[in-house]
Structure 1
């Protein structure tokens, strides 16, 4: 499936907007104690994105989505600033939540919840991960302890959740819980008095409003109409969301590393040491050359995985491979950018140090590298057993 001229034109518009309008906001002081942009700042940028015609660019006016390959060329450009995805409404977890609702939600759920998200009026949160000290689900979703059961005409949900990105200030929540039938998903309006924030930890990353909260859910009552899809199908719906969401992270952070490479290259070409520009020293120039190679490799990996998803496949294996390859490559790229810039690279004078921090976190969320490798190794063993007639 080819990438349309329309998608490239839209990507160009997004890039022009991010470079001209969003990047100046990187020095805006409207941040919380953790350094994340405050909602006032987000809404101000989104108003300008709406005016420029680049708000939620991956979802077309008729509600259909760009293909995954087309989404990639747009989301990479939106990631050229850590604020770009927030401004253009292509950020996590909202982009993944919009994708899930668009594919699984009923017309009523789309009208009640999805519409305000697509319009950029509401942030959302995906409530799946649970606290380790509670013995709940992390990388292993089968350990889920949050429960839901029917009580008359309602479902009642009880449990705990942790690392819930963007919860503080979100207006839409997708809650996963375990019933007798299996895992279920529910759409809820936020805030809700039945869901309380225990604490919001300080974390290495700082690009996402609302932090990564730990929550307690106590007797949250929701109507059956707020269930996403069918009871017991929650894990299947999670895969509908997670495979493209992993890839979307790769897209956005590739954009950030492209920008970090630009900044480091500019520094290396301007800065003089030992009688010549830094880039003329092989130790520096070769790092930037290695970055250029790995940036291109990451782009090709994203495009390959996107093409698989565009065939209608869930692409679980492909998205795992892309998540591992791209996140690890981007970590090396960000690290080299810091190294090239020396002392300046570890300051907040540029976004390079933030990109380094954000990519370090990216290696963990949506499945750490080791979990994806473990899953791939299990598949290799299954294939071997099948080939040997042992399956």
Structure 2
């Protein structure tokens, strides 16, 4: 099939390509852009000049010296930090973290708030979010017109458009119209995303060679989640953010999960599952609402010191994770895995059982898949939230050919 692009569509595509090359490169010459984008120097010069006039990019002359030679000094391009700003919000159990970043991704202001979402009303949640955003924005000293976008990372499931928080372990509230509240209040686009999706986005941006087309980021914390990247795209459900890896069925009539079902992967591999099993509680005992990471570390230390029950507890978690991965690999073929979160610090105790399950499954070829570990998920969640917001602003501005107004 032949695809014909109109000249304005091609121009928008080239504008976006140039902005994103500069964003990834930090400081880039026009010649480097032309090579990376496979565009003519004349096209790069024309479009980059437009973007400078619009305020998206800034040009700086290269340092001159005895070796610089004669003639016109070369210039390098970078994104203009002052072009606009974004608000980033990370919602997790008991806390709201609000930050403001400039267009280059530098944090301008940051505030941390306590919020007991287990007992909050819909109205109180709305008012609290708005108040905390305003407080952080006011602390930055920025003018209201500098705000271009609000990006929110959450523990839970959103609708496919990223406008509503459908459900979350943070709160009994459901179908929360967060984006509508904030768009009405602040007049800018607002999007929500699952924290595991943001982790995957951050890994892809941070190391695109290692985390390119196909990989998954699996969060091992109080719960178990997955951000899935296939063919270069985040994979979601048909109606929601989906990819609820932790709630795939591991064992029929198995242990009680915090979601209320029995036999979920998380019910054997989440923090509360590990402490429940190690303490000898019944598998149908109500999951703890919160487990301190140090508790998992202590059980891991006991396992490494020869505690058989502790070792079997982590082996059970590994088997649950391996069963889930075997099912996914049978559908879409094996790929790299990054285990993220404080639970990853005990992965050495889970790995043998996980790989044994893969070896004995229909996905036996996956038994040697590469696995990476990141024990602190929050920097990745924040980074994914930030780069997601900035890339959306880039796309919006790329569509505004010839406009000098902010997105």
Normalised by the length of structure 1, the TM-score is 0.24
Structure holding more helix per residue? 1
Larger radius of gyration: 2
Structure holding more strand per residue? 2
